Amino acid sequence: MNRAVTNIAIPAMMEIGENVIDTLGERLRQHGFQSVTIMWDGFVEASYGSRLLAALDGCSAEPVLLDRTFSIQEITGRAFQLPASDVLIGMGGGAVIDMAKYTAFLRKIPVISIPTSASNDGFASSGCSLIVNGRKTSVPAKIPFGIVAELTILQKAPDPFILAGIGDLMSNITALYDWQFEEKQGAGTVNAFAEMLSKKAVNSFIRTPMADIHAPVLLKELISSMTMSGIATEISGSSAPISGSEHLISHALDQWADHPQMHGIQVGVAAYIMALVHEHRFERMRKVFERTGFFDYVRTLGMKQADFLMAIDRAPKVKPNRHTYLHEEAYRLKAKQAVQSDPVLKTILH
Ligand SMILES: [Zn+2]
């Protein structure tokens, strides 16, 4: 089911740059926010806590430590114990930002995401991934009111986090191809504007110099492309513009593999597999993954060929209501053949 959307929410505050975090208090006051609740984990509090609190001088700020990943039931319980505040800030990796997004959604207050790594597009998207009955599940929430991407912090994230972000972004290519296929099968409707945004987002990144993945120009491009991708999901009312068969493979690995890897790493490998199946832009994708060192990193992980073969078979079960290429047996077969015969995949999966 696709619903027509004419009114969409977009972030009102969008800051990408060096030292943008240090003027956050001023920005909050411009938007009329006085009181703020901050959610972070112990690492972020120790590394950047005093910097953020100094930046919020003049607002009343209440930090809340999230010392582990809470289930959706726990988040709901905790959300209503929090003191009232005008705005919520989630600062950290994907899990912390998702917990903050969902808390803000329940409390009906705006949320500002401050990602400390660009490892996935969660900081800009409307949905979040939470633990429901012991399993990671996609749950709807709201697109953040603000995104503050502090490059001096994002640059310090270790290589794998940036590579994961690149993997997640490259999957727009295969997700869009699946979405068009789905429409042809009469199983969905492509929203042309969401499609355009998602495509422009990934194409703009592809043209960026990639010799140094910590370079501000690359990180800026990665973050803004992911933000555009997040807005594409808001427009379409679904994750389809940025999530297709490659995400199903990753979700199947999360559920059934012994040692799942970072979301964007799994998604990147799966996107390359699906680009081979689609016979669409796989050379371009291979070049990006070679130039950035993505494949070199994956080679060190000991990811198993057998896990990918299993995940391809189980992919349709993850979202039975969709109709991607992997929902047809002939293409699952083609995907498994690619895993076993592609020269790159043969060297990175063991
Ligand atoms: Zn993703």
Segment 1-47, tens digit of pLDDT:
555 556 788 999 999 999 999 999 999 999 999 999 999 999 999 99
Q: Average pLDDT of 237-249?
A: 95
Distance 340 CA to ligand 1 centre (A): 24
Distance 13 CA to ligand 1 centre (A): 23
Q: Average pLDDT of 169-198?
A: 97
Structure tokens at 10: 């977009």
How far is residue 228's CA from residue 32's CA, in Å, rounded to a whole number? Answer: 26
The angle at the Cα of 3, spanning 234 to 267, to the nearest 5 degrees, equals 45
Structure tokens at 200: 């422009």
Length of the chain: 350
Distance 278 CA to ligand 1 centre (A): 19
pLDDT at 142 (0 to 100) = 85
pLDDT at 138 (0 to 100) = 84
Instruction: Say whether pLDDT at 171 is over 60.
Output: yes
What pLDDT, in 10s, does the model give residues 82-113?
999 999 999 999 999 999 999 999 999 999 99
Distance 243 CA to ligand 1 centre (A): 6
Distance 337 CA to ligand 1 centre (A): 24
Residue of 209, 190, 210 whose CA lies nearest to 199: 190
The angle at the Cα of 144, spanning 140 to 150, to the nearest 5 degrees, equals 135
Distance 304 CA to ligand 1 centre (A): 20
Q: Average pLDDT of 284-300?
A: 98
Q: Average pLDDT of 269-278?
A: 98
Mean pLDDT of the chain: 95
Give bridge partners of residue 113 from the DSSP assignment: 90, 147
Distance 283 CA to ligand 1 centre (A): 21
**Maximal CA-CA distance, the chain:** 61
How far is residue 91's CA from residue 178's CA, in Å, rounded to a whole number? Answer: 33
Which domains are assigned to the chain? 13-154 (3.40.50.1970), 159-348 (1.20.1090.10)
Distance 247 CA to ligand 1 centre (A): 6
Cβ neighbours, 10 Å, residue 156: 14
Distance 39 CA to ligand 1 centre (A): 22
Distance 26 CA to ligand 1 centre (A): 32
pLDDT at 134 (0 to 100) = 87
Distance 45 CA to ligand 1 centre (A): 26
Distance 114 CA to ligand 1 centre (A): 18
pLDDT at 116 (0 to 100) = 96
Distance 120 CA to ligand 1 centre (A): 6
104 in Cβ contact with 134 (< 8 Å): no
Residue of 255, 256, 282 whose CA lies nearest to 269: 282
pLDDT at 313 (0 to 100) = 98
Distance 92 CA to ligand 1 centre (A): 17
Distance 250 CA to ligand 1 centre (A): 9
88 in Cβ contact with 113 (< 8 Å): no
pLDDT at 9 (0 to 100) = 85
CA distances from 81 to 74, 106, 110, 128, 255 (A): 11, 12, 17, 21, 32
Phi, psi of 125 (to 5 degrees): -100, 165
Share of the chain above pLDDT 70, in %: 98
Q: Average pLDDT of 186-215?
A: 96
Q: Average pLDDT of 61-74?
A: 96
Q: Average pLDDT of 319-348?
A: 97
Distance 47 CA to ligand 1 centre (A): 26
Distance 96 CA to ligand 1 centre (A): 16
Distance 290 CA to ligand 1 centre (A): 20
Distance 127 CA to ligand 1 centre (A): 11
Distance 222 CA to ligand 1 centre (A): 13
Distance 171 CA to ligand 1 centre (A): 8
Distance 31 CA to ligand 1 centre (A): 31
pLDDT at 342 (0 to 100) = 98
pLDDT at 339 (0 to 100) = 98
Distance 215 CA to ligand 1 centre (A): 22
